[in-house]
Amino acid sequence: LKKYWSELAKGLTPYVPGEQPKLNNLIKLNTNENPYAPSPKVREAIDKVCSERLRLYPDPECSRLKAAIARRHGVGADRVFVGNGSDEVLAFCFPAFFGPARRILFPDITYSFYKVYAAFFGIPYETVPLREDFSLDAEDLSRPCGGVLLANPNAPTGLAMQRRGIEQIARHCESLLLVDEAYVEFGGESAVDLTAELDNLLVVKTFSKSHSLAGMRVGYAIGHQGLIEALECVKNSFNSYTLDVLAQAAAIAAIEDDAYCAEQLRKIRQTREWTAGQLQDMGFCVLPSSANFLFIRHPEKTGAQLMQQLRGKGIIVRHFEQERIRDFMRVTIGTQPQMQQFVRELGALV
């Protein structure tokens, strides 16, 4: 079967995304989606794109979307790059900024796609151990290297690093610092404003979580114009049109309706705090989360066990078979009624 595979392809171990079950009546707390639908303005925007537009190529520069993102963050549109989900933006960063000669650094416990990108693009890396409590010591990443990757808040732990930690790392790093802020709107401190003075800081964000648009695949990066140009150069060597016309329309509508979004974020944070309290009362260790998920461990039952048992109750959560965290499970914050049911079912299991 692998007769015509390249040597590179033979050596790849792809990323495995969380399950997207085809069943409808599950409580889906496994892939950190937003439990609330996107702004009604998104639907209106999609409906307004006339059928005639579907036959034409989309704007390859995504100019209107970049302008909307730029306005929202108070930066120039030439400091914004957009891609097919933040996963694609992250993927483009590897060939744009990293090379085979110098190792890049990222924490040992973080988004597991980073090492997959590194292998795919032939970039050597070194993982930096988080502290015992899964927090990150900025010192550990403040040393010469080919680049630094940080998810802030981190996944799957949910722990956030303060902006001054990010700043310290960027100032000590003579190469690129990439901060993946997929979850920052749920409680972290964004580093976007630091990009105005730090030309080696690139902040990557997504519409998937905070703007309830995981289904539409839109991510972006903000940084110095020189960094954005490198990403454009890589993108245009790979695929000219990565965002279709409806994805662009949906994302513009979503980011322009910030008031709607803020209200959903408030509800999710409130439900997260309620859920964390309930779990602690049940004896769970609950890491302090700044994201839309909780990373939890029971003193007696393993994450894999509990995940299996919850699945039997129609609730899916995520478990990672990885050293240091295999006792944990990651639970997305759903609606308040969903989390009440989750807490009830889990209570019956432990």
Residues within window 216-275 making contact with its own copies, judged by CB under 8 A? 216-217, 225-227, 229-230, 232-247, 250
Q: Does residue 97 belong to the site contacting its own copies (CB under 8 A)?
A: yes
Figure out which of the listed residues 25, 51, 300, 312 binds its own copies, where binding follows CB under 8 A.
51
Q: Does residue 315 belong to the site contacting its own copies (CB under 8 A)?
A: no
- Report in angstroms how near the CB of residue 16 gets to its own copies at its nearest: 8
CB nearer to its own copies: give 70 or 282: 70
Residue 120: count of CB within 10 angstroms of its CB: 19
Amino acid at 74: G
Backbone CA torsion sign across 44, 47, 53, 55: positive
The region of 25-33, 65-73, 155-163, 336-344 touching its own copies under the rule CB under 8 A is: 25-33
User: Under rule CB under 8 A, how many of the chain's residues touch its own copies?
Assistant: 88
Figure out which of the listed residues 212, 271, 332, 338 binds its own copies, where binding follows CB under 8 A.
212
CB nearer to its own copies: give 96 or 287: 96
Bridge partners for 201 per DSSP: 177
Q: Binders of its own copies among 52-91, rule CB under 8 A?
A: 52-60, 84-85, 87-88, 91
Identify whether the C-beta of residue 26 lies closer than 8 Å to the C-beta of residue 33. no
- Report in angstroms how near the CB of residue 28 gets to its own copies at its nearest: 7
Q: Binders of its own copies among 131-160, rule CB under 8 A?
A: none
Is residue 148 within a helix (H) or strand (E), and if so which, with residue range?
strand 147-151
Residues near 47 by beta carbon (within 8 Å), at least 6 away in sequence: none
- Report in angstroms how near the CB of residue 109 gets to its own copies at its nearest: 20
CB nearer to its own copies: give 16 or 348: 16
First to last CA, the chain: 46
Figure out which of the listed residues 142, 168, 175, 340 binds its own copies, where binding follows CB under 8 A.
175
34 φ, ψ (degrees, to nearest 5): -80, 130
Figure out which of the listed residues 26, 46, 70, 198 binds its own copies, where binding follows CB under 8 A.
46
Identify whether the C-beta of residue 231 lies closer than 8 Å to the C-beta of residue 238. no
SS3 at position 151: strand
The region of 18-26, 272-280, 286-294, 312-320 touching its own copies under the rule CB under 8 A is: 18-26
Residues near 180 by beta carbon (within 8 Å), at least 6 away in sequence: 86, 90, 111, 149, 150, 151, 152, 204
- Report in angstroms how near the CB of residue 138 gets to its own copies at its nearest: 20
Instruction: Lay out the sheet containing 177-180: strands in order across.
Output: 80-83, 219-222, 201-206, 177-180, 147-151, 104-107, 125-128
The region of 43-51, 154-162, 189-197, 313-321 touching its own copies under the rule CB under 8 A is: 43-51
Figure out which of the listed residues 119, 282, 343, 349 binds its own copies, where binding follows CB under 8 A.
119
Identify whether the C-beta of residue 60 lies closer than 8 Å to the C-beta of residue 243. no
